[in-house]
């Protein structure tokens, strides 16, 4: 073992590299280049291009406002317009679901790279999340437009929004890493993700306020980590009327952290075999 120290790189079975995180930093340019590639390619050869990032969440918002706000007459948080309530939740949800689907398919899509070059594999799912982030920024413009339309002035809470953006990304990256690694071995997960995303839209408080959930169930409801993230977004954007349910939020945080750790751990475990299995 002592001999290994004389060498820069060692490749042997079950050998977790000591310099993994350092390596990840060394390859940061690859991260940017891959992210740039995904962004550059995303809306190539489409007619309305980047408008797709605006249209989809906007139409979803309209439909949810009509169904949950007008037809089902669910209450909003205080005097907040229902459309704003929906859109403030739709933003993190779209970010989360896009990031999750992009990252969980990322290894399969980039299989040609994995078989032919070495780099810390975590760069691929991490870079794929960036496109979701860009889409998020573009649809953020709609939110600003809506705020002007409703003449809604945000409070200082909005300054904390970046923290919750990071939280939403973290929430997707944890499961995303795990699933993309599993996807290499078992392609079943490719079919699971669209289902999970569709399902999650209804069990997360996107079309309605989480305050309508009875108090005794709220902690249980917060087992869905997106509940904490969405509540946080509403708290930032809509101000004082949308309250964060603190025990639930802490639970969501714990679950997100737990998933992130699990994702990274499982990913690292399987990483070395990707080239053989993909």
Name the residues that contact other proteins, by CB under 8 A: 3-4, 6-15, 29-30, 33-34, 37, 40-41, 44-45, 110, 112-119, 185-187, 272-273, 275-277
Which C-beta is closer to other proteins: that of 13 or that of 79?
A: 13
Task: Map tokens 């340019």 to a residue.
Answer: 29
The token pair that represents 175 in the structure block: 């499961």
Task: Give the CA dihedral 270, 273, 275, 278, nearest 10 degrees.
Answer: -70
Which C-beta is closer to other proteins: that of 37 or that of 70?
A: 37
Residue 199 C-beta: closest distance to other proteins, Å: 22
Which C-beta is closer to other proteins: that of 118 or that of 149?
A: 118
Residue 1 C-beta: closest distance to other proteins, Å: 10
Residue 114: count other Cβ atoms within 10 Å of its Cβ: 20
Residue 207 C-beta: closest distance to other proteins, Å: 35
Residue 47 C-beta: closest distance to other proteins, Å: 16
Task: Map tokens 């946080």 to a residue.
Answer: 232
Which C-beta is closer to other proteins: that of 10 or that of 67?
A: 10
> In angstroms, rounded to a whole number, what is the distance separating the alpha carbons of residues 214 and 174?
29
The token pair that represents 256 in the structure block: 């997100």
Residue 183 C-beta: closest distance to other proteins, Å: 12
Cβ atoms of residues 127 and 168 within 8 Å: no
Which C-beta is closer to other proteins: that of 9 or that of 71?
A: 9
The token pair that represents 190 in the structure block: 């490719």
> In angstroms, rounded to a whole number, what is the distance separating the alpha carbons of residues 189 and 251?
26
Residue 195: count other Cβ atoms within 10 Å of its Cβ: 9
């Amino acid at each position: 073992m002592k001999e290994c120290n004389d060498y820069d790189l060692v490749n042997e079975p079950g050998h977790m590299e000591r310099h993994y995180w350092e390596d990840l930093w060394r390859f940061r340019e690859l991260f940017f280049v891959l992210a740039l590639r995904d962004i550059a390619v995303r809306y190539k050869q489409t007619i309305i291009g980047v408008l797709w990032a605006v249209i989809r969440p906007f139409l979803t918002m309209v439909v949810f406002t009509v169904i949950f706000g007008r037809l089902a007459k669910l209450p909003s948080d205080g005097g907040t317009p229902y459309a704003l309530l929906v859109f403030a939740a739709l933003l993190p949800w779209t970010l989360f679901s896009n990031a999750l689907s992009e990252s969980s398919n990322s290894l399969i899509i980039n299989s040609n790279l994995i078989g032919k070059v070495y780099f810390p594999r975590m760069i691929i799912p991490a870079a794929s999340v960036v496109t979701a982030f860009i889409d998020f920024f573009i649809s953020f413009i709609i939110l600003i437009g809506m705020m002007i339309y409703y003449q809604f002035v945000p409070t200082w809470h909005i300054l904390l929004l970046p923290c919750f953006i990071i939280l939403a990304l973290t929430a997707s990256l944890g499961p995303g890493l795990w699933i993309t690694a599993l996807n290499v071995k078992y392609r079943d997960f490719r079919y699971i993700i669209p289902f999970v995303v569709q399902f999650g839209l209804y069990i997360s408080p996107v079309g309605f306020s989480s305050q309508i959930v009875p108090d005794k169930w709220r902690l249980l409801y917060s087992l869905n980590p997106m509940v904490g993230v969405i509540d946080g977004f509403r708290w930032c954007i809509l101000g004082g009327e949308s309250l964060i349910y603190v025990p639930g939020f802490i639970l969501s945080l714990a679950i997100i952290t737990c998933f992130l750790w699990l994702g990274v751990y499982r990913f690292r475990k399987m990483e070395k075999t990707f080239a053989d299995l993909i």
